Amino acid sequence: MANERPSPIILASASPRRRQLLSEAGYQFEIVKPDVDESVFPTQGMTTREYAETLALAKARSVAPMYPDHWVIGADTVVDFAGEIIGKPVDADDAERITKKLFSAPHQVITSVAIIKLCDDIELVESDITTVYPKTMTAGQIAEHIKGGTWRDKAGAYAIQETGDAFVERIEGSLTNVMGLPMELLDSLLTKML
């Protein structure tokens, strides 16, 4: 089915997880790392979804002018904990703080997907939301998680594909959304464009 999708496709992301998901779905694509400094985007006055959509669009827009006749896909994943926007931890202390918070109660993972094709004047962005119900983590488990370093460059300081069995009781929604690219949503968006 994926080989019927529009091409050529550019994935505006350096994420190995997004690359893997797109590849496993059978898409042919190139990777171009977006030139976006996420730290300059303020979170104040935005919902978590609006923030994720702003970043996804910024990533796609940074690459699209170089490939005006390509489908350029940008994505951004953030975590919403009781309305608080939680992105990637800046260091081990921040990762520990985030982990203690997120694994105390259910939270939502939001991934926004932006698709741009400049030559056809197409620009759209949509989001998927998955609720994660965590297992209670002991102080020792949290310490091991931080020591292991898998929190680096991960929204919410964890990767469900690496630690899901240990940290997650269950999810409601898309697993690939929590991994960083909601494939059901992406397939649907690209299918509409055929």
**How many whole angstroms from its chain centre is CA 149?**
19
Among the listed residues 69, 76, 120, 165, the single catalytic one is 76
Instruction: Tell me, yes or no, if 37 is annotated catalytic.
Output: no
Q: Where are the beta strands (DSSP E) in 98-143?
A: 107-117, 122-134
76-97: string of b/e by CB count within 10 Å (b at 16+)? bbbbbbeeebbbbbeeeeebbe
Q: Can you name the residues that pair with 115 across neighbouring β-strands?
A: 73, 124
Q: What is the DSSP letter of 150?
A: T
10 vs 33: CA distance, rounded Å: 10
Which sequence positions are flagged as catalytic?
A: 76
